[in-house]
Amino acid sequence: MKQTNISVFVPHNGCPHRCTFCDQRSISGAQKPPSPEETAAMLESQIPVLRKHETRAEIAFFGGSFTGIERGYMISLLETAHRFVQDYPDVYNGIRCSTRPDFIDDGILDILSEYGMTAVELGAQSMNAEVLRLNERGHTPEDVEKAAGMIKKRGFSLGLQMMTGLYGDKPEYCIDTAKRFIELKADTVRIYPTVILEGTKLGELYKGGIYRTFTQEETVDLCARLLRMFGEAEIPVIRLGLHASRDVEEKMLGGVYHPALRELCESRMFFEDMSAEMKRTGGTDFIVYTDPANISRITGQKKENRTRLAGLGYRFEIKTEKGTRLRIENAL
């Protein structure tokens, strides 16, 4: 049985914060909060689709700060979701939400528990105090640690979200953030390279020449490293990069936004593994065995890996081997 999320976008209208990367106008203006009735109709409409595709779904309240919205409205959405999980257990098997670390306390967790919430994701963004301060997040790394501990203790699945390339950020700070996420025993992680949008403080800093974010090349190198770290810690990275969106494309001033960002990063990991293994094996011509699903990542976009390895003096042909990630032999 496949698993997916059915997302319900709940904008945090009237959010008192001013995070540098956030486009408040589109959050508070264009996006209308869904009513419980609209949410129910949407969940109802997805039932035959999910059944047809033999897929189960978690109902996911996304948009930033689910536990910061008006309490009665939040409960009405939770009641709706809970009803669908109870009435259609073959289709809906959980509820998740994303929120700010400083919007978690025992009272909130009691409510989430009562309505069958299964996973809580925290927008941590960085575990570097200065990066959080410069980007006006209004919370500290300690707030993330405290909230993460409370979520784990209550038995919810803990999701942690981080951004790369914020104002004042450095790759080593992102590595430290990933280390802290691993220590906090995150169950899932999302990684969002910064996209600089018109109408944000980052946009102003960028246009004023005060801020630059990481290049795509730096981001691919960094995120490949982050994927490796989380992979070794057996923590699934359930998202890398923003979802494709016309809104983002129209308002983007700079930053890293690529529809196949994850594939680029996984391809970089293959390049690193192949070059190390070829160097260790010795020689110049190799046979690379891999599962058919990996072939495009092994060769790289526009054959980048092939070209870069040729630059190091290595040539290879690919042979498929089901279930194998990477096995390299000398082609004698």
Q: Which residues bind ligand SF4 (CB under 6 A)?
A: 12, 15, 17-19, 22, 24, 27, 64-65, 100
CB of 13 to ligand SF4, least distance (A): 9
Best CA proximity match to 175, nearest among 225, 238, 121, 237: 225
Q: Which is nearer to ligand SF4, 163 or 237 (CB)?
A: 163
Helices (H), the chain: 24-25, 36-52, 71-87, 106-114, 129-134, 141-153, 171-183, 201-207, 216-232, 246-251, 261-281, 295-299, 304-311
User: Nearest approach, Cβ of 329 to ligand SF4 (angstroms)?
Assistant: 50
Chain mean position to CA 139: 20
Judge contact between 226 and 178, C-beta under 8 A.
yes
Pairing of strands 285-290, 327-330: antiparallel
Strand partners, 190: 161, 239
Smallest distance from ligand SF4 to CB 3, Å: 27
Q: Is the CB of 27 or the CB of 182 nearer to ligand SF4?
A: 27
Please say which residue, 17 or 56, places its beta carbon nearer to ligand SF4: 17
- C-beta closer to ligand SF4: residue 13 or 118: 13
CB of 128 to ligand SF4, least distance (A): 17
The least distance separating ligand SF4 from the CB of residue 138, rounded to whole angstroms, comes to: 7
Nearer CB in complex with ligand SF4: 166/220: 166
Closest C-alpha to 46, from 6, 1, 75: 6
Sheet containing 285-290, strands listed edge to edge, beginning at the edge strand earlier in sequence:
315-320, 285-290, 327-330
Pairing of strands 157-164, 119-125: parallel
For residue 114 the two structure tokens come to 């009562």
Q: Which CB atom, from 31 or from 76, has the smaller least distance to ligand SF4?
A: 31
Q: Tokens 């009272």 sit at which residue?
A: 107
Q: How far is the CB of 136 from ligand SF4 (least distance, A)?
A: 8
